């Protein structure tokens, strides 16, 4: 067995992976989230930078199979959909504009269902089948659910989804077309989450909801593994990550942590969490954290960035402890700054990001404005979801809201060109 134990992030108790599916019974579902532990010295023997180089046929998350929690028997459940090894684009003009040495954007909008969540769903549909589950469920602001539905499509699993009724239309359309059973809850994501948890317990469904399922962070760590390999094992100085429940950022830390344990890299980058001003309980907990207990104070979430509209974050303990271990920090951005970031990203890089993903870029701009970046910094920004997921927000973000409507004649073209200031 590769996975030697599941360890509670709060009390440190260890459990065997056969004994437990979700959280530490002593600390409960909120504080008792589990870390997946490996036998690193054993893995180190067969898994090296050189052995990775030889996997030149496999540019997906599965090139990192030796440090993913899938045992021999589970490998037959790996889906053909191509997940991960997303592009890490370098933008030189933008780096100059903001005064940093190097600027990279990791574009996870190109995953099969167009968000970072595919990394976790690809893994968890395997766990569900290893555990002989028939039904898998998930509460989600939209992306985790549509990703689960997509990765369950080619399996015998039935997918039952809890989303807030306000989820963007594109995410709902994805769910329905993949054939998931969709329960649109009249309430917030935080309410949908609690409802899903209760239903899963009552009916014995396998639960993919954020944080309580320890394998999700293992899927979400693959973004960090890729960044390190794409930069030839010279890790960046800063990685900016948008934060809702806190699982993606925990995954980014865990990925670098595993690479450090295995001797692939020399250190862990500073990890910067970016939250929306109207939904920033993890930022507040981080600022109060003194190395002892994480103080949790929930709030009512209010932001247009639906994927991070989380007032009761489920991976708050891990996120606070991990970012602290990475000597990182948290920053918050307003909805206005997020909208501005969507537009600037699209116009200057060609990357079209959904609001939560653009929040990470807005956080980068805010750091620059506050003079918190250094000329020698090498920065990576995680773009976690595609802009096509939320067209309404994009229309709001665009400087020009409407196209120029014309009649079907060259005279009309001429009139339009004048109007657009492009008169020949
Ligand atoms: C889920 C999600 C996030 C935040 O991840 P958490 O684990 O909830 O912190 C950020 N961006 C996008 C696009 C997401 O779907
Ligand atoms: Zn515990």
pLDDT of 269 above 90 = yes
| Average pLDDT for 103-110 | 98
Rounded to the nearest angstrom, the distance between the alpha carbon of 12 and the centre of ligand 2 is 6
Q: Where are the beta strands (DSSP E) in 323-372?
A: 329-333
Q: Are 319 and 243 in contact (CB under 8 A)?
A: yes
Token readout for 200 is 């899963």
Q: Is the minimum distance from the CB of 354 to ligand 1 under 6 angstroms? A: yes
Q: Are 240 and 328 in contact (CB under 8 A)?
A: no
pLDDT in tens, 368-391: 999 999 999 999 999 999 999 999
| Average pLDDT for 208-220 | 97
pLDDT of 226 above 80 = yes
Rounded to the nearest angstrom, the distance between the alpha carbon of 42 and the centre of ligand 2 is 27
What pLDDT was estimated at residue 1?
78
Instruction: For residues 391 and 163, give the distance between their C-alpha atoms in angstroms, rounded to a whole number.
Output: 18
Placement of tokens 């944080």 in the chain: 211
Kindly indicate the confidence band of residue 424, based on its pLDDT and cuts at 50, 70 and 90: confident
Rounded to the nearest angstrom, the distance between the alpha carbon of 418 and the centre of ligand 1 is 44
pLDDT of 119 above 80 = yes
What pLDDT was estimated at residue 320?
98
Instruction: State the CB neighbour count (10 A cutoff) for residue 23.
Output: 24
Helices (H), 235-313: 247-261, 281-288
Angle between helices 143-152 and 118-130 (to 10 degrees): 50
Q: Are 416 and 380 in contact (CB under 8 A)?
A: no
Share of the chain above pLDDT 90, in %: 97
pLDDT of 235 above 80 = yes
The sheet with strand 135-139 has its strands ordered as 181-185, 158-164, 135-139, 206-207
Among 146, 147, 163, 248, say which to mutate for ligand 1: greatest number of ligand atoms within 8 Å of CB.
Answer: 248
The ligand that comes nearest to the alpha carbon of residue 15 is 2
Atom of ligand 1 nearest to the CA of 242: 10
Q: Is the minimum distance from the CB of 120 to ligand 1 under 6 angstroms? A: no
Token readout for 4 is 């030697």
What pLDDT was estimated at residue 316?
98
What pLDDT was estimated at residue 57?
82
Phi, psi of 4 (to 5 degrees): -90, -30
How far, CA to CA in Å, does 109 sit from each of 102, 126, 188, 404?
A: 21, 22, 25, 29
Q: Is the minimum distance from the CB of 262 to ligand 1 under 6 angstroms? A: no
| Average pLDDT for 52-73 | 93
Q: What is the dihedral of CA 235, 253, 301, 168, to 10 degrees?
A: 70
Residue (of 217, 385, 215) closest to 315 by Cα position: 217
Q: Are 58 and 85 in contact (CB under 8 A)?
A: no
Residue (of 139, 244, 122, 128) closest to 184 by Cα position: 139
Token readout for 340 is 């501005």
Kindly indicate the confidence band of residue 56, based on its pLDDT and cuts at 50, 70 and 90: confident
Residues with Cβ within 5 Å of ion ligand 2? 8, 10-11, 13, 24, 26-27, 32
Kindly indicate the confidence band of residue 80, based on its pLDDT and cuts at 50, 70 and 90: very high
Helices (H), 370-409: 391-397
What pLDDT was estimated at residue 100?
98
pLDDT of 317 above 90 = yes
pLDDT of 347 above 90 = yes
Kindly indicate the confidence band of residue 265, based on its pLDDT and cuts at 50, 70 and 90: very high
What pLDDT was estimated at residue 423?
81
What pLDDT was estimated at residue 260?
98
Token readout for 99 is 């005064």
Instruction: For residues 223 and 106, give the distance between their C-alpha atoms in angstroms, rounded to a whole number.
Output: 8
Instruction: State the pTM of this model.
Output: 0.97
Element (H, E) at 202: helix 189-203
Average pLDDT, the chain: 97
Question: Residue 105 forms beta bridges with which residues?
Answer: 89, 381
Q: Are 125 and 79 in contact (CB under 8 A)?
A: yes
Phi, psi of 160 (to 5 degrees): -115, 125
**DSSP class per residue in 106-140:** EEGGGSTTSBTTHHHHHHHHHHHHHTT-SEEEEE-
Placement of tokens 């997906």 in the chain: 60
| Average pLDDT for 38-45 | 94
Please list, residue by residue across 178-201, b when 16 or more beta carbons sit within 10 angstroms of its beta carbon and e when fewer do: bebebbebeebbbbbbbebbebbe
Instruction: For residues 123 and 61, give the distance between their C-alpha atoms in angstroms, rounded to a whole number.
Output: 10
Question: Residue 206 forms beta bridges with which residues?
Answer: 136
Share of the chain above pLDDT 70, in %: 100
Q: Is the minimum distance from the CB of 107 to ligand 1 under 6 angstroms? A: no
| Average pLDDT for 187-208 | 96
Atom of ligand 1 nearest to the CA of 143: 15
Element (H, E) at 230: helix 222-230
Q: Is the minimum distance from the CB of 308 to ligand 1 under 6 angstroms? A: yes
Rounded to the nearest angstrom, the distance between the alpha carbon of 26 and the centre of ligand 2 is 5
What pLDDT was estimated at residue 55?
84
Among 244, 317, 341, say which to mutate for ligand 1: greatest number of ligand atoms within 8 Å of CB.
Answer: 244
pLDDT in tens, 247-262: 999 999 999 999 999 9
Q: Provide CB contacts within 8 A for 346, sequence distance 6+.
A: 352, 353, 387, 397
Kindly indicate the confidence band of residue 270, based on its pLDDT and cuts at 50, 70 and 90: very high
Q: Is the minimum distance from the CB of 323 to ligand 1 under 6 angstroms? A: no
């Amino acid at each position: 067995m590769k996975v030697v134990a599941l360890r509670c992030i709060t009390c440190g108790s260890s459990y065997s992976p056969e004994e437990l599916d979700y959280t530490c019974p002593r600390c409960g579902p909120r504080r008792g989230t589990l870390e997946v532990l490996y036998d690193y010295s054993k893995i180190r023997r067969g898994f090296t930078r050189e052995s990775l180089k030889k996997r030149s046929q496999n540019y997906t998350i599965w090139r990192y199979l030796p440090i993913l929690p899938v045992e021999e028997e589970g490998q037959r459940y790996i889906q053909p959909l191509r997940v991960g090894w997303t592009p890490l684009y370098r933008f030189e003009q933008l780096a100059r504009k903001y005064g940093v040495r190097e600027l990279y954007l990791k574009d996870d909008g190109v995953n099969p269902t167009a968000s970072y969540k595919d990394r976790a769903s690809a893994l968890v549909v395997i766990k569900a089948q290893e555990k002989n589950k028939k039904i898998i469920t998930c509460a989600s602001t939209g992306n985790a659910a549509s990703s689960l539905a997509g990765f369950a499509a080619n399996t015998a699993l039935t997918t039952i989804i809890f989303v807030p009724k306000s989820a963007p239309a594109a995410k709902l359309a994805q769910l329905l077309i993949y054939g998931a059973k969709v329960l649109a809850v009249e309430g917030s994501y935080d309410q949908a989450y609690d409802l899903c948890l209760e239903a899963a317990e009552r009916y014995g469904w396998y639960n993919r909801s954020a944080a309580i399922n320890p394998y999700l962070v293992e899927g979400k760590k693959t973004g960090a593994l890729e960044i390190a390999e794409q930069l030839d094992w010279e890790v960046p100085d800063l990685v900016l990550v948008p934060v809702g429940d806190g699982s993606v950022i925990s995954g980014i830390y865990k990925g670098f942590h595993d690479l450090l344990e295995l001797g692939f890299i020399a250190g862990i980058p500073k990890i910067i969490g970016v939250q929306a001003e109207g939904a920033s309980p993890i930022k507040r907990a981080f600022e109060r954290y003194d190395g002892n207990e994480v103080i949790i104070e929930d709030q009512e979430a209010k932001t247009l960035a639906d994927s991070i509209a989380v007032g009761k974050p489920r991976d708050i303990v891990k996120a606070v402890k991990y970012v602290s271990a990475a000597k990182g920090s948290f920053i918050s951005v307003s909805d206005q700054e997020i909208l501005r970031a969507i537009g600037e990203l699209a116009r200057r890089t060609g990357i079209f990001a959904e609001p939560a993903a653009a929040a990470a870029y807005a956080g980068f701009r805010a750091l620059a404005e506050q003079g918190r970046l250094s000329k020698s910094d090498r920065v990576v920004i995680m773009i976690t979801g595609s802009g096509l997921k939320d067209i309404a927000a994009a229309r709001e973000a665009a400087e020009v809201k409407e196209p120029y409507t014309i009649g079907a004649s060259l005279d009309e073209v001429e009139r339009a060109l004048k109007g657009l200031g492009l008169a020949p």
